[in-house]
Amino acid sequence: MQAQYDVVVIGAGVVGAATARELARFDLRILVLEAGLDLACGATRANSGIVHAGYDPLPGTLKAKYNVAGSALFEQWQRELGFGFYRNGALVLAFDEGERQTLDELARRAVANGVKGVCIVEADELRAMEPNVSPDAIAALSVPTSGICDPYGLTYGAAENAASNGVEFEFDARVVGISRDADGFVVTAGDGRGIAARAVVNCAGVHADEMNNLVSERKIHIRPVKGEYLLYHNAFAGTFRRSVFQAPSAAGKGVLVSPVIFGNIFVGPNATPVEDKADLTTSEEGQREVLERSRRTWPEATTEQVIATYAGLRAKDASGADDFVVGEAPDAPGFFNAACIDSPGLTCAPAIATDLARMVAERLGAKENASFDPVRIPAPLLAMMDEASVRELVDQNPLYGVPVCKCCHVSEGELVDALRRALPVRSLDALKWRTGATMGPCHGGRCTARILQIMERELGVAAPDVQKRFCGSSLVVDKCADEQRSEQLVPHAKRCGELARQARADLDERGMREIGWGALDIVGTRPAGVCSCLLALGLFGTTGCLPGRKAVVWGTHDLALRTTLELADAGVCIERVVEAGDEPVGSPELVHELGQRGIPLQCGTRVERVDGASRLGSVTLACDGASETLTCDLLIASPQIVAE
């Protein structure tokens, strides 16, 4: 028998989650279907986090309408949902007289769209506002009502509030079909289930055209546009206080330099049309383009202190129409679109959601939900609390006094709280985004194994069943099916666990850490199976499951060599050990033992690329201007030990 709902929302990005929350204001049975294992798996997760003021969209467009209305709702939504947001202001730079004319046009648009406080500042005032801005900028449009927010935090807050008001969420629930029937629609999920709904709201991101085209003759076609970013260590916090844009062009708002809500700064994105709607690869060319273009704003931009590189997709209308598609499909009553939601979609989400919920309620004749509560009580985050509040919380629950993630000051209590809240945690990345754990410069090298243990305990799942981000992205491989072989692994796992504890203590005492792989200038995808030494050892030591079966090791310091030898003893095939320098840096005894074991060692070589959809499939090595690709499911990337 088919499940029956009043409304099915397709997609749990920021627009889908916000729409579900606003629909919960009405007496409706609502289901959100999300293809990924978590909220915000698409454009919401990898974007600039800017709350645009509304000076850029053409007056009269849906973008202009929803931009200004959405921005105006952020203070209220922040009070109700408890996510990071503040108005830091923005500047749009002009570098010549032609671009100054662009600023004049933007100022006129701002007035037409109802944006307050916008003015043009000259070079001296500009540099007083932002001392690190390029001396080549001759003027700027000052936009004081622009802001920044935590996109995931907004999405999580809206979704959790929706769930507390009765909305149901299903993850790993890709929609593969939609058909009409006498009562509305039948939505078919990837597992073959049919779900009946009186109305459908399409918030499927880059896949929104596919959903629309299943039911409407008014076809939509989306061409994804990829943007790459570089995120800097918070050592650069304060370099820029405002979000600094360059005068826009036909390609978009251009590469910007901006703080994020957590204190870091980033540069990006570029804009590269792609065909593959799952293409989140980074490239050497893309990263170079972002860096070079950002130097027009920030001449000191560098690859030093970059802690992460990543890419996101924007859902661009392939027809060239620079506007959203929002509302009921004219030839499919009850089917509502939020399609072609590119920039400034994040800002517009609250206003789009409010409008869509009203439209759906009117179509269905729904009454208001008298018990709707708009307020969500967020989980405590120790890093944002004063010492007295932390002590009080620890007194109430000692788990808040048990540190797990040293870099980001996340406790076991915070992890347990996130695992027990209304929305399920289906992946390690979901826990990362909800608590901040593993977001520091070591990328979880110290704490991921412990987090995995906590997830096993709290969720009642085995380590190989915990995914990093996507289905098939387990951090470890299954224990050996051969019982005798599994028993043989136990002493190896114990030795690796002990080596991890000793190495962690030694590094902590010296104020050192392994360099995080986000700082290694590696391009490609971001699959599971890329580890530091501490992570590889810790995973095996705590779970008894190998972190991979065939490995490449990048690094020849003593910890890297000892890790290599221990994993080789446990049965991991070491395809190659590589060192960027001209000779290995570890002890001669360990290097000699590699040779004795027949493990290949190659100097003057670095890892330049990793590939794999969910789990690592290959790495590409660069040596003397040539490239070589090796098949493997584990990369131990630890070329340097650096100061904390």
- Catalytic residues, by residue number, are 52
The dihedral built from the CA positions of residue 80, 85, 87 and 90, taken in this order, carries a sign that is: negative
Sign, CA dihedral 126-138-269-146, equals positive
DSSP 413: H
Would you list the DSSP string of 37-102? SSSS-STTTSS--EE--SSSSPTTSHHHHHHHHHHHTHHHHHHHH---EE---EEEEE-SHHHHHH
Identify any residues that bridge with 125 across adjacent strands, giving them in sequence order: none
Q: Tell me phi and psi for residue 344, to 5 degrees.
A: -100, 55
Two structure tokens written together for 561: 């060599």
Residue type at 20 in one-letter notation: A
Pick from 551, 539, 512: which is nearest to 635 by CA? 551
Would you tell me the crossing angle of helices 97-113 and 62-72 to the nearest 10 degrees?
70
464 within 8 A of 548, measured Cβ to Cβ: no
Identify the burial level of 529 via C-beta atoms within 10 angstroms of its C-beta, where 0-12 means exposed, 13-18 middle and 19 or more buried.
buried
Q: What is the largest CA-CA distance in the chain?
A: 78
**Helices 533-543 and 558-569: angle between axes, nearest 10 degrees:** 30
Calpha distance 86→83 (Å, rounded): 10
Q: 227-238 as b/e, with b when 16 or more CB fall inside 10 Å? A: bbbbbbbbebee
DSSP string, 191-242: TS-EEEEEEEEE--GGGHHHHHHTT-SS---EEEEEEEEEEE-GGGTTS-SS
State the sign of the Cα–Cα–Cα–Cα dihedral 204, 207, 209, 210.
Answer: negative
Strands 272-273 and 168-170: unpaired
Q: Which among 147, 179, 152, 182 has a CA at the least distance from the CA of 8?
A: 179
Contact 565, 594 (CB under 8 A): yes
Neighbouring C-alpha atoms within 13 Å toward the C-beta of 372: 17
